[in-house]
Chain A
Amino acid sequence: MKSINWFHYAAPQNFYGLAGRMWPGFAVLATAFMLAGLWLGFAVAPSDFQQGEGYRIIFVHVPVSWMSMVVYLAMAFWSVLGLTFNTRLSGMMTRALAPTGALFAFLSLWTGALWGKPMWGTWWVWDARLTSELILFFLYLGYIALTSAIDDTRRSDRAGALIAIVGAINVPIIYFSVKWWNTLHQGASVSLTKGSSMAEVMLWGMLLMALAFWFYTVALVLYRVRTLILQRESHATWVHQLDEVKP
């Protein structure tokens, strides 16, 4: 079996083409899973015995919250690769991930507030889960502000990589906060060790939505990294020979 030469695709020129072939497929998957997840969550799933129809916020809140953490870990992963192998693509991948991560962190807080108001009687409390998620949002904003403030791309990528790696310590803190401290936020509904405490159709709806947000993120990041590659390689011959930039 022929193995994939990963370093081949670490060259922006090669990754540009690969990403261009891959993102439409992920966009289609995202749409399909989103429609299926919304159908299960909003048309099939029964109402909750405690929260009535209000619990349906879960089909947005949990996936965006998971993704806000996953995207940050992905940024840390690319940053480690970038600092270790000094590949240019790593910095671009990290940067392509950041806006989507920031969006998901914001949506996690937003949908959480809209869920907290009717169920807890308050939009916000300074408990460990909410506060650490707010810090995650600020880390994304810090990453974006720092990298866009430094003009030299190499230095900017390195500075950004440091924030991404150091800030990653916050992700397990968010995840375990409901165990480590007494929080108003409930514990995990789905656990790696204990399985799920939810009704099956609710769980399926949530998992389909989570996959949809995964595919959405992959599609968008692949799309966005192509824009970054073109920006950074705008003086390279291979860019000038692309069909899409022929005048």
Chain B
Amino acid sequence: MRWESWSQFWAMGGYAVYVWGSVGVTALLMVLEVWQARWAHRAVLNQLKAEQAVAQLPVDEWK
């Protein structure tokens, strides 16, 4: 470990804005991408479930 304190670590030798701006935006967009992929997958599954539920209804309940 080459840092003497957390504040020294966060300061990044004066380059904090650039280093954490890079790491932070990368992490944020990756989290959003994963979240979006999960959301899209669940949406498709829910759609398919709903279609199945409708298809299994007895015919006279459709009215």
Contacts and interface: CB of A to CB of B under 8 A. Distances in A.
A183 to B, nearest CB: 20
A165 interface: no
A239 interface: yes
Contact of B48 (A45, A60, A106, A230): A230
Given A57-B19, A60-B22, A43 B1 contact: yes
Nearest to B33: A103
B44 interface: yes
A186 B63 CA distance: 70
Interface stretch (A109-117, A134-142, A146-154): A109-117
A115 B22 contact: yes
B2 A57 contact: no
A241 to B, nearest CB: 10
Contacts of B59: none
B1 A54 contact: no
A240 B53 CA distance: 11
Contact of A226 (B9, B12, B14, B41): B41
A244 B45 contact: yes
B19 A245 contact: no
A189 B23 CA distance: 20
Contact of A230 (B1, B25, B33, B45): B45
A111 B22 contact: yes
B18 interface: yes
B15 A100 contact: no
Contacts of A226: 41
Given A54-B15, A245-B48, A223 B37 contact: yes
24 contacts: A42-B9, A43-B1, A46-B2, A54-B14, A57-B18, A61-B22, A110-B26, A111-B25, A114-B18, A117-B18, A118-B15, A118-B18, A220-B33, A220-B37, A223-B37, A223-B41, A224-B40, A234-B47, A239-B48, A240-B52, A245-B49, A245-B52, A246-B49, A247-B53
Interface of A: 42-47, 52-54, 56-57, 60-61, 64, 99-100, 103, 106-107, 110-111, 114-115, 117-118, 216, 220, 223-224, 226-227, 230-231, 234, 239-240, 244-247
Interface of B: 1-3, 9, 12-15, 17-19, 21-23, 25-26, 29-30, 33-34, 37, 40-41, 44-45, 47-53, 56
